[in-house]
Chains A and B, each alone.
Chain A
Amino acid sequence: MPFLNRLPLTAEFRAGARAGFRAFLPQSIGLIPWGMVTGVAMVGSGLTPIEAMGMNVLVFSGTAQLGTLPLIAAGAPLWLIIATALALNLRFLIFSAGIAGNFQQLRMPARWGVGYLLVDGVFAICLEPMRRNPDPQWRLGHYLAPSLWAWAVWQLCALTGILFAGAIPGSWSLEFMATIALLALLLPMAGTRPMLVAALTGGAVAVALHGLPLRLGLLVAMVAGILSGFAAERQHSPVAGS
Chain B
Amino acid sequence: MTGPGFDDSWTIWLSLFAIALVTTLPRASFIVLGSRVPLPPRIQRALRYAPAAALAAVVAPDLLVANDVVSLLNPRLGAGLVVLAVASRWRNPFLPFIAGMGSLWALQYLA
Contact = CB atoms under 8 A, between A and B. Distances in A.
A238 interface: no
Q: Report the 5 A-B pairs with minimum CB-CB distance, sorted nearest first.
A: A225-B53, A75-B5, A115-B28, A203-B60, A229-B49
B61 A206 contact: yes
Interface string A11-52: 000000000000000000010111001000000111110010
Q: Give the size category of B's interface with A.
A: 35 or more
A85 B76 CA distance: 24
Contact of A173 (B30, B47, B48, B108): B108
B80 to A, nearest CB: 6
Interface stretch (A2-10, A65-73, A129-137, A148-156): A65-73
A101 interface: yes
A172 B2 CA distance: 12
A70 B31 contact: no
Given A58-B17, A207-B61, A189 B52 contact: yes
Contacts of B88: 187
Contacts of A118: 27-28, 31
Contacts of A63: 51, 55
A199 interface: yes
Interface string B70-111: 100000100110011001100001101100110011001000
Interface band, chain A: 35 or more
**Majority secondary structure of chain A interface residues (helix, strand, loop or mixed):** helix
Contact of A91 (B30, B47, B80): B47
B59 A203 contact: yes
Interface in A49-98: 51, 54-55, 58-61, 63-65, 67-76, 78, 81-82, 84-97
B29 to A, nearest CB: 5
18 contacts: A30-B93, A55-B19, A73-B2, A85-B19, A87-B53, A93-B47, A94-B39, A96-B26, A112-B24, A170-B2, A180-B79, A180-B80, A186-B59, A189-B51, A198-B56, A206-B57, A225-B49, A242-B45
